[in-house]
């Protein structure tokens, strides 16, 4: 009876140790998975947001005084009307000229980097749609708001290689910080999980060695 009870205790201990090791293995795999996901997120951010942020020359923030805001011409655009179907619509080209930091130097204002790449003349390029009247109304509302504000924050190229200034940037400092926050938290959490598991294993072995010495 004594031997049966002892054997049962040994089996129970082995089962407990096996379950503990399995849980530790799963925790380590979870930590490694979180680290791997964070690395992939860093890679994606590096080739999208961080690259665009680093390549942008409009890095200095200033105050732009609106000098002129007028519609110059109608621009053609194409919208999707179905499978393999494209039709032409029109939107007004709004040109805005500003003076940066009251220097007297006149520059053309563009909405952001995407607008600058899409059109070198127009302040804003709306999403093309069938209703050209709606696009015209949108552009005129933007023009009226710019005229009413007179002074707006803007971004310019300090090296003065690009004469165009931007009203907003696609990815400013705050966007970059917030985009890096989640992968950084995931990386830190995964590393902490692995460190805690390894620390628990070390303390467990230390307790076993101390128990053997005391015996």
**pLDDT value at residue 96:** 92
Q: Average pLDDT per run of 10 along the chain, which is 215 residues long?
A: 48 54 83 92 87 83 89 87 82 91 84 84 88 90 87 86 87 84 92 90 81 70
**pLDDT value at residue 195:** 92
**pLDDT value at residue 13:** 54
**Residue 23 burial class via C-beta count within 10 angstroms: exposed 0-12, middle 13-18, buried 19 and up:** exposed
The angle formed by the CA atoms of residues 11, 14 and 19, to the nearest 5 degrees, is: 125
Residues near 126 by beta carbon (within 8 Å), at least 6 away in sequence: 91, 135, 138, 139
Integer Cα distance of 31 and 40 in angstroms = 14
What 3-state class would DSSP assign to 150?
A: coil
Task: Answer whether 109's CB lies under 8 Å from 64's CB.
Answer: yes
Kindly give the pairing relationship between strand 60-82 and strand 85-100: antiparallel
**pLDDT value at residue 19:** 53
Integer Cα distance of 99 and 165 in angstroms = 10
Length of the chain counted residue by residue: 215
Integer Cα distance of 54 and 73 in angstroms = 34
* Residue ranges per structural domain of the chain: 60-174
Integer Cα distance of 122 and 137 in angstroms = 16
**pLDDT value at residue 7:** 47
């Amino acid at each position: 009876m004594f031997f049966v009870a002892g054997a049962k205790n040994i089996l129970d201990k082995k089962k407990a140790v096996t379950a503990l090791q399995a849980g530790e293995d799963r925790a380590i795999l979870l930590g490694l998975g979180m680290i791997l996901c964070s690395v992939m997120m860093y890679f994606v951010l590096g080739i999208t947001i961080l690259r665009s942020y680093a390549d942008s020359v409009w890095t200095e923030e200033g105050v732009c005084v609106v000098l002129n805001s007028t519609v110059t011409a109608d621009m053609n655009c194409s919208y999707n009307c179905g499978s393999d179907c494209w039709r032409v619509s029109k939107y007004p080209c709004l040109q805005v000229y500003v003076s940066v930091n009251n220097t007297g130097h006149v520059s053309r204002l563009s909405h952001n980097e995407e607008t600058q790449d899409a059109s070198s003349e127009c302040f804003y390029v709306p999403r093309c749609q069938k209703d050209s009247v709606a696009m015209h109304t949108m552009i005129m509302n933007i023009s009226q708001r710019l005229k009413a504000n007179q002074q707006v924050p803007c971004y310019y190229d300090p090296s003065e290689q690009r004469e165009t200034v931007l009203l907003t940037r696609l990815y400013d400092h705050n966007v970059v910080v917030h985009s890096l926050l989640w992968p950084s938290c995931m990386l830190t959490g995964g590393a902490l999980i692995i460190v805690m598991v390894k620390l628990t294993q070390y303390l467990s072995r230390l307790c076993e060695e101390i128990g053997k010495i005391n015996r």
